[in-house]
Amino acid sequence: MQQRYMLAIWDLFTMSGSDVSGGEAVIAIMDGDQEIDRVTISGKCQGQHGYRRSYTGKPGLTARISSGPGRIQFLHN
């Protein structure tokens, strides 16, 4: 059985002084304590709505940022 998830990321950018540039975040998809997949998202996302993409996997998965800037939310639909 597969579950559909929505992965959203906000604040995906880097700053150098007053310059704002795109960033890259690596998101680990977790099954309990075991990492089963990685999703890399790169670009610049500063808006309040963030960037969203779907992910399909088994029920009960979670996600965390492994490296890079940003905040994420990982919800099942």
* Tens of pLDDT, residues 31-71: 999 999 999 999 998 888 899 999 999 999 999 999 999 99
Res 34: pLDDT: 98
Q: What residues contact 38, with CB distance under 8 A and at least 6 apart?
A: 26, 27, 28, 29, 66
Check residue 41 and give its pLDDT.
Answer: 96
- Return the HEC string of the chain: CCEEEEEEEECECEEECCEEECEEEEEEEEECCEEEEEEEEEECECCCCCEEEEEEECCCCEEEEEECCCEEEEEEC
Residue 69: predicted pLDDT? 96
Token pair of 60, please? 């009960």
- pLDDT tens for each residue of 7-33: 999 999 999 999 999 999 999 999 999
pTM of the model: 0.90
